[in-house]
Amino acid sequence: MKVNSTAVIFALMMSAHTVGGYSAERPNVIFIICDDLNDYVEGFDGHPDAVTPNMARLAKTGVRFTQAHCNIPICGPSRASLFTGVYPQNSGCYGFTKWDTYEVLKNSRTLMDHFRANEYHTLGTGKLMHHMVRQEWKQYGNRADYGPFAFAGGEKVAHPDVPAPFRDIGPVDGSFGPFVSLTGRKTPDGKPLRWQNGGWGNFAEPLRVDSQDNRDLTPDELNGDWTVENIRRLAEHPGRQPFFMGVGFIRPHTPLIVPQRFFDLFPLKEIDLPAIRPGDVEDTHARSIRGLPSGSEPTSSRTEDMGTRLFRNLVESYPSGDEALCRFIQAYLASVASVDEQVGRILDVIDQSSLKENTIVVLTSDHGWGMGEKDYLYKNSLWQESTQVPLIVRVPGIAKQDAACSTPVSLIDLYPTLVDLCGLTGDTKKNDKGHALDGHSLKPLLEQPDAGQWSGPSEALTALYKWRMKYKPSRESYSLRSKHWRYIHYENGKEELYDTTSDPHEWHNLADKPDHADRLVSFRRRLLERIPDTGTIPPQPVWQPKASNNTKASAEVWKAKYFVKHPKADANRDGKLTWPEYKAYRAKFDPEPAKASKQDGKI
């Protein structure tokens, strides 16, 4: 029988490129997201002492976006926006209510669910979305774990090296220091200390530290192990199903606790302080929407201005403000270096396998972090320190290597970019109650970082989180960051305007200068064009905890109801009310007898 050689070759080509209905040549994706990582990364001009050789190595093989910004500068809603591709103003998700209870978001496909619908194997580990829904993934490793935590007397406490009043802020935001043996160490009131891991849920396990060479792994190290092991396993079968892998590292989120060797990289006497202009906060208006007149100081933990409170308490805890910032920055840089080590392990296993030429790697953060600029030490501001995120994208065969792009972009653009690069098809809306993707593909900027023409807007848009349950998009606070300007419009109508070319530190608010009146009008118009009128988004969820016959669960239900009525009881503003926070708040501000069950002596 005569064989048609052309037909045979075509059949072989099809069998090599198509398996089970999908193309085996479609790129894999490894999406790495850090928590609270600002621009303290080599190549982003954030801090001269940063030690991030592996992130720099990734940038050498891709494009780094030097003006990438988050869409809301706090964990929960930022990640909800990133992974659904929907702006907060179009979903109503500005706060910490679970993302999948918003009508718009629960009827829109998450990034990982859309990859799964396109026959990708989806797997993840660590902190990706702030409220993780297991069903969004085919395979999941470790839940979000914010440890190590110091632990004493049945409660998490601040690291023993941290003095008061900063340590009194609590075991999350008021804690930093090396992960070393606590044998023989006690709290100021004499309780023995030990280490444990844990998240916002009830899970927690002891962590052992006999020495720096003989200890349990940190949660980020465990996520590094999980990632390396699964990449190796997937590399053994390169012709099978393509994969989308999400990797969520906790550091440099507080508590800034990592092994001693990372602290040793940054001697205190050699730490460079950020450029801070004395009195810089005086011509700003952030405090005017937080119940604090400009120039005033908060007097208790009831203030919503967490960044001012953290800065003030840190400075009061040390002999000088310079020493205070040096100690905190040392812990932050050490935490960033610890994550960089895990990034290096991931790059090593990719680059030494068959996956190297067919795997997209994205590295970013959910938002930035201020280091004392404008007397502010936190995320959740509309200034550069909070809105900017590092963003590095490697796309073999498409993205230029060792290139920088200064076009303002934002996290909302990552979903459509990956859809474009991976050729995903189908609607990202589950039905008409969902919302189409708000961002734009970065592919043209990956191909031509300097001159690429993309379809996105000229300004990156960022909304502000405030501690409340309800939001009206047209009455919130926002910033627009263009290539040369930052414009901020607060909910009370006050404005800030910065010429970021001549004033990169945003020291001089030009909003009241007559010469810039026309520019302000233009920015106001452009902002209004991007914000929906109040009432155009579906009603936001009202969370109702389910009652339970279980005593402990009933106590939690009661606490949740108390939290709704008293949101300021959440001292560290992390969106969760812990029993220690509840007790401290009741004792100071609401001393009536508790009505909840005294489960385990926690009330």
- The predicted-structure confidence for 447-491, as pLDDT tens digits, reads as follows 999 987 899 999 999 999 987 778 999 999 999 999 999 999 999
Name 569's Cβ contacts closer than 8 Å, sequence gap at least 6: 562, 563, 577, 581, 582, 585, 586, 589, 590
In this prediction, residue 23 has a pLDDT band, given cuts at 50, 70 and 90, of very low
Average pLDDT, the chain: 88
**Which range is least confidently modeled, 34-43, 365-374, 538-547, 555-564?**
538-547
C-alpha to C-alpha distance for 56 and 62, rounded to whole angstroms: 10
For the chain, what is the largest distance between any 2 Cα atoms, rounded to a whole number of angstroms? Answer: 95
Q: Which two tokens stand for residue 124?
A: 């993840």
How confident is the model at residue 602, as a pLDDT? 28
pLDDT in tens, 131-188: 989 999 999 999 999 999 999 988 999 999 999 999 999 999 999 999 999 999 999 8
**Mean pLDDT calculated for residue range 588-597:** 44
Type of residue at 8: V
pLDDT at 237: 84
> What pLDDT is recorded for position 452?
79
For 21-30, 256-265, 283-292, 366-375, which range has the lowest pLDDT when averaged over its residues? 21-30
Confirm if 569 and 562 have CB atoms less than 8 A apart.
yes
pLDDT score of 292: 45
Strands 28-34 and 359-365 turn out to be parallel
In sequence order, what E strands does 417-560 have? Answer: 460-463, 478-481, 485-489, 495-499
User: 252: cis peptide before it, omega within 30°?
Assistant: yes
Q: What would the mean pLDDT of 415-422 be, rounded to a whole number?
A: 98
Q: Is pLDDT larger for residue 585 or for residue 331?
A: 331
More confident residue, 470 or 269: 269
- Strand ranges in 338-381 using DSSP code E only, listed in sequence order: 359-365
**High-pLDDT (> 70) share of the chain, %:** 85
The pTM is what? 0.86
Q: Which residue has the higher pLDDT, 266 or 188?
A: 266
Distance separating alpha carbons of residues 312 and 306, to the nearest angstrom: 10
pLDDT for 596:
37
- Give the separation between CA 215 and CA 370, rounded to whole angstroms: 32
Res 300 pLDDT > 60: no
Whether residue 546 is predicted with pLDDT greater than 50 in this model: the reply is no
Residue 13 has pLDDT above 90, yes or no: no
Q: What is the pLDDT of residue 529?
A: 95
Query: In this structure, are residues 178 and 162 in contact, taking their beta carbons and an 8 Å threshold?
Result: no
Residue 232 predicted with pLDDT over 70: yes
Of 11-25, 206-220, 390-404, 454-468, the least confident: 11-25
Pairwise CA distance, residues 64 & 392, whole Å: 4
Whether the predicted pLDDT of 597 surpasses 60 = no
Three state DSSP letters for 558-589: HHHHHHHHCHHHCCCCCCCCCHHHHHHHHHHH
| Three-class SS state of 105 | helix
- Which domains, from first to last, does the chain contain? 10-146+219-530 (3.40.720.10), 149-215 (no CATH), 551-601 (no CATH)
Cα 120 to its chain centre, rounded Å, is 25
**Which pLDDT band, with edges at 50, 70 and 90, does 386 fall under?**
very high
End-to-end CA gap in the chain:
86
Question: What is the distance between the alpha carbons of residues 41 and 51, in angstroms, rounded to a whole number?
Answer: 7
pLDDT score, position 467: 79
Q: Give the helix, strand, coil percentages of the chain, each rounded to 5.
A: 35, 15, 50
Q: Amino acid identity, residue 314?
A: L
Average pLDDT rounded to a whole number, residues 360-385: 98
Average pLDDT, integer, range 317-334: 98
Contacts 24+ apart (CB under 8 A), 565-571: 566/590, 567/467, 567/468, 567/469, 568/301, 568/302, 568/304, 568/467, 570/467, 571/169, 571/170, 571/301
pLDDT value of residue 584: 77
